[in-house]
């Protein structure tokens, strides 16, 4: 028997075992049917899987993992496949199984009294938001991809988004999780407690682990009171440092009501106006930087006045040059459509080298000046598309390369520009991934910037939970 025959036999044997667990509707083997699971949203990462498995519940997931573990078959867990770091895409070997969680899409319970919602990991983020609202509650996690990403993917990447300033990232919105371990055992950590000091925090170990330690199958999430009033402004300013001062003013004048403070440079907004339809520029003249600021409360009274007086003061002291407060839902939606259209506009405009960095807010302005100058020296024909959740100290400091840039040039430039940008991030005590995670994109960079002790601790955890390295090999670590 040749090695090829052996490979074919073991694959058909694996498929036969998996079919017994998930049935024909849970296994995809056809080349064209698998393709959507093998390429990511950005069309940047792609690979070849041996097959796609779609379990319908936790027991099936556990049984699938037990079989893959026994066969030493590598598994790539996938939710909505909207991740930005290549974490959910199989490699080129054709040996990896994609474990798609999208059939596990049941909302198990809403407990309005205890303010929790219990969901399976394949539920779309938008469906959780809608279900919370139907129960007069609010689930604050909010991302441009919310109509396509799953809560499992949000948990596995510890996703951030546009409401972190007030409500925290996914980790802070989670009370308990259920996980299938690489060997198929189930850990039921679906506790709905706000306090639990009984040893190591296993929940937080799996949150942000990007499918490298286990499969998250369900979660208990925190719900918040549903804000009934919002006031949203679009402002133009001369530079980033002025916006940094405005964040401070908004925080001290509006306190907890401040829920979003997003920054967009002129170049980012211009890209959206060029590539996204049905948006209109909110101010009468252009500005070097813009901010979208949103307050939320249970009471409309005084909310718009509070935002208005904060902005008036900023106009008076020169921190901003112009501002408009939305007078209608349509106007507010237009503001958000511009902000959330930047990712799409970048895809349409060319090839982007993405940087998802976190910095102390006080260091942002100096970082942007230094990084812009350094990139100008390295790559004079590139455009910097800089925007992000500046209120959280999170910039998407992206470098847009001309559309005709070929693959080899792109690879070379990515390595050198990453080093330029990430060295500056490191010097400012920042992080090379604020919210998108490491995946394949930043794996080598992670090795470069993490201390030997930190890497060693991460390897110890990986080795003890996944000794046969079957969970998402080649990603994160």
Residues that bind ligand FAD (CB under 6 A): 41, 76-84, 87-88, 101, 121, 143-145, 149-150, 152-154, 156-157, 159-161, 210-211, 215-216, 343, 435-436, 439, 472, 475
Strands (E), 186-265: 186-189, 215-222, 224-225, 229-237, 258-265
Rounded to 5°, the CA angle 169-170-173 comes to 95
- Min dist CB 398 to ligand 2HG, Å, is 5
What is the nearest approach in angstroms of ligand FAD to the Cβ of residue 388? 8
Least gap, CB of 390 to ligand 2HG (angstroms): 11
What is the nearest approach in angstroms of ligand FAD to the Cβ of residue 299?
28
Angle, helix 329-340 to helix 266-275, in steps of 10 degrees: 100
Q: How far apart are CA 134 and CA 49, in angstroms?
A: 39
Q: In what order do the strands lie in the sheet with 75-78?
A: 27-28, 49-53, 96-100, 75-78
Quick one: which of 54, 290, 332, 396 contacts ligand 2HG (CB under 6 A)?
396
As measured in angstroms, the least distance from the Cβ of 84 to ligand FAD is: 5
Residue 361's CB is within 10 A of a number of other CB atoms, namely: 17
Residue linked to tokens 């990139």? 375
Provide, rounded to whole angstroms, the least separation between the CB of residue 418 and ligand FAD. Answer: 19
Residue window 316-355: x/- pattern of binding to ligand 2HG, with contact defined by CB under 6 A = --------------------------xx--x-------x-
Which is nearer to ligand 2HG, 87 or 176 (by Cβ)?
A: 87
DSSP code at position 402? P
When the beta carbons of 262 and 319 are compared against ligand FAD, the nearer one is 262
Site track for ligand 2HG across 137-176, x = CB under 6 A: -------x--------------------------------
Of 142, 169, 398, 433, the one binding ligand 2HG by CB under 6 A: 398
| Minimum distance, C-beta of residue 430 to ligand 2HG, in the bound complex (Å) | 16
Smallest gap from Cβ 274 to ligand 2HG, in A, equals 16
Q: Nearest residue by C-beta to ligand 2HG? A: 343
* Cα(119)–Cα(135) distance, integer angstroms: 15
DSSP 237: E
Partner from ligand 2HG, ligand FAD, none contacting 75, C-beta within 5 to 8 A by type: none
Please answer whether residues 283 and 236 qualify as being in contact, where contact means their C-beta atoms are separated by less than 8 angstroms.
yes
- State which residue, 291 or 306, has the beta carbon closest to ligand FAD: 291
By beta-carbon proximity to ligand FAD, the closer residue of 120 and 319 is 120
Pick 38 or 435: Cβ nearer ligand 2HG: 435
State the binding partner of 173 from ligand FAD, ligand 2HG, none, CB within 5 to 8 A by kind: none
The per-residue DSSP string of 63-98 comes to HHHHHHHHHT--EEEESSS--SSSTTS--TTS-EEE
Residue 256 buriedness (CB in 10 A; 0-12 / 13-18 / 19+):
exposed
CB of 325 to ligand 2HG, least distance (A): 23
Among ligand FAD, ligand 2HG, none, residue 101 binds (CB under 5-8 Å by kind): ligand FAD
Q: Is 94 in the site for ligand 2HG (CB under 6 A)?
A: no
φ, ψ dihedrals at 293, nearest 5°: -120, 135
Report residue 107: phi and psi, to 5°: -85, 115
Task: Report residue 430: phi and psi, to 5°.
Answer: -100, -170
Angle between helix 342-349 and 329-340 (nearest 10): 40
CA distance 352 to 398: 6
396 contacts which partner out of ligand FAD, ligand 2HG, none, CB within 5 to 8 A by kind?
Answer: ligand 2HG
**Phi-psi map region of 350: left, alpha, beta (phi>0 left; psi -120 to 50 alpha):** left
Question: Which residues would be at the binding site for ligand 2HG (CB under 6 A)?
Answer: 144, 342-343, 346, 354, 388, 396, 398
């Amino acid at each position: 028997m040749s090695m090829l025959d052996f490979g074919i036999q073991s694959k058909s044997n694996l498929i036969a075992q998996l079919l017994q667990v998930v049935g024909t509707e849970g296994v995809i083997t056809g080349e064209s049917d698998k393709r959507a699971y093998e390429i990511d949203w950005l069309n940047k990462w792609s690979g070849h899987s041996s097959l796609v498995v779609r379990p319908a519940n936790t027991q099936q997931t556990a049984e699938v993992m037990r079989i893959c573990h026994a066969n030493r078959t590598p598994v790539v867990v996938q939710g909505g496949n909207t991740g930005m770091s290549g974490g959910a895409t199989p490699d080129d070997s054709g040996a990896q199984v994609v474990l798609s969680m999208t059939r596990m899409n049941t909302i198990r319970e809403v407990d309005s009294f205890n303010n929790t919602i219990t969901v399976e990991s394949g539920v779309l983020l938008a469906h959780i938001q809608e279900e919370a609202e139907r129960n007069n509650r609010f689930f604050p996690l909010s991302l441009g991809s919310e109509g396509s990403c799953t809560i499992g993917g949000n948990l596995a990447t510890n996703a951030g988004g546009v409401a972190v300033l007030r409500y925290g990232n996914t980790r802070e919105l989670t009370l308990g999780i259920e996980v299938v371990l690489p060997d198929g055992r189930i850990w039921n950590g679906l506790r709905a407690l706000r306090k639990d000091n009984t040893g190591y925090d296993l929940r937080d170990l799996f949150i942000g682990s990007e499918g490298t330690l286990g499969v998250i199958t369900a979660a208990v999430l925190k719900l918040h009171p549903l804000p009934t009033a919002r006031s949203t402004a679009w402002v133009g300013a001369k530079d980033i440092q002025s916006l940094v001062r405005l964040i401070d003013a908004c925080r001290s004048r509006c306190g907890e009501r401040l829920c979003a403070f997003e920054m967009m440079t002129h170049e980012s907004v211009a890209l959206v106006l060029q590539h996204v339809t049905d948006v209109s520029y909110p101010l009468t003249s252009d500005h070097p930087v813009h901010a979208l600021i949103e307050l939320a409360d249970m009471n409309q009274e005084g909310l718009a006045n509070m935002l208005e007086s904060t902005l008036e003061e900023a106009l008076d002291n020169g921190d901003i040059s112009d501002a408009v407060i939305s007078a209608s839902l349509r106007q507010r939606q237009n503001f958000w459509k511009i902000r959330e259209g930047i990712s799409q506009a970048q895809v349409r405009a060319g090839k982007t080298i993405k940087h998802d960095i976190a910095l102390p807010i006080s260091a942002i302005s100096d970082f942007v000046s230094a990084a812009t100058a350094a990139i100008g020296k390295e790559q004079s024909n590139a455009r910097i598309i800089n925007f992000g959740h500046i209120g959280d100290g999170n910039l998407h400091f992206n470098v847009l390369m001309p559309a005709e840039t070929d693959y080899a040039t792109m690879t070379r430039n990515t390595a050198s520009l990453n080093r330029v940008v990430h060295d500056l991030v490191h010097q400012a005590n920042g992080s090379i991934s604020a919210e998108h995670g490491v995946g394949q994109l930043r794996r080598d960079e992670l090795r470069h910037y993490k201390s030997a002790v930190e890497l060693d601790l991460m390897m110890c955890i990986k080795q003890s939970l996944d000794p046969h390295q079957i969970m998402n090999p080649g990603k994160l670590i």
